Amino acid sequence: MGSLGSLERYFEAIMSYLAPLKSALAYLLLILGTLLRKLLGILRRYGRFIFIAFFLSPFLVSLILVYAVPSALCALMSLTDMGLKFEFTWCRPLWRNYEVIFSGADPRIEEVTYVTILYVGATLLINAGYALILGVFTAYMVKNETLATTIRLLWFLPRMTPVVIYALLWLWFADPHVGPLTIISRWIGLGEVSWILDRPYSQILMIIV
């Protein structure tokens, strides 16, 4: 009996030590339950928005990495004196490059402006004009909907391709040594032509790309 009494006292001592822990655990569970209820309320209220944001997050991340970050870097580089050595040296004053451009002090401004207008104008003409012709043709002339969808898919396929892969494919296609475009140029009598460096072939390829 003495051993049982000591065992009971030992058990009671353990329970007295655990009593604060039990109350702390109960308080923690109460906090977790409250947070969970609030989280479920937020999900019920903004669930549709969260789902759409989660669904679009890969596209938004790629858009930021492919367009926003390079645009920001280009804006920063325009304020530097960066050359072929890629040294990030700030201009003094920061807008010096813009002064050179708008004052016409750089002798290459005229040529660069001409190439830009040629590229933008021809690209808009090809994209907008051909897209209009393709849309009218597939909507009114092609009666087979499967064929019309296939034609439209072939038109949109390059626009769905990642920019890096698209650029690498064109670099391979126009390679001056083994590119298919160079081989075709030899067959039609143009000789050794670099569609990447030689004008006007490089300008034509730039517009097509």
User: What's the predicted TM-score (pTM) here?
Assistant: 0.45
3, 16, 135, 165 from 24: Cα distances, Å: 32, 14, 69, 58
Query: What backbone torsions phi and psi does residue 142 show, to the nearest 5 degrees?
Result: -95, 115
Query: What's the pLDDT at 109?
Result: 82
**Confidence grade of residue 2 (pLDDT, cut at 50, 70, 90):** very low
What would the mean pLDDT of 36-47 be, rounded to a whole number?
A: 76
* End-to-end Cα separation, the chain, in angstroms: 97
Query: What's the pLDDT at 4?
Result: 47
> Which residue in 110, 130, 118 sits closest to 205, CA to CA?
118
Range of weakest confidence among 14-28, 37-51, 107-121, 184-198:
14-28
What would the mean pLDDT of 186-199 be, rounded to a whole number?
A: 75
The answer to whether the beta carbons of residues 182 and 193 sit under 8 Å apart is: yes
Query: What's the pLDDT at 1?
Result: 47
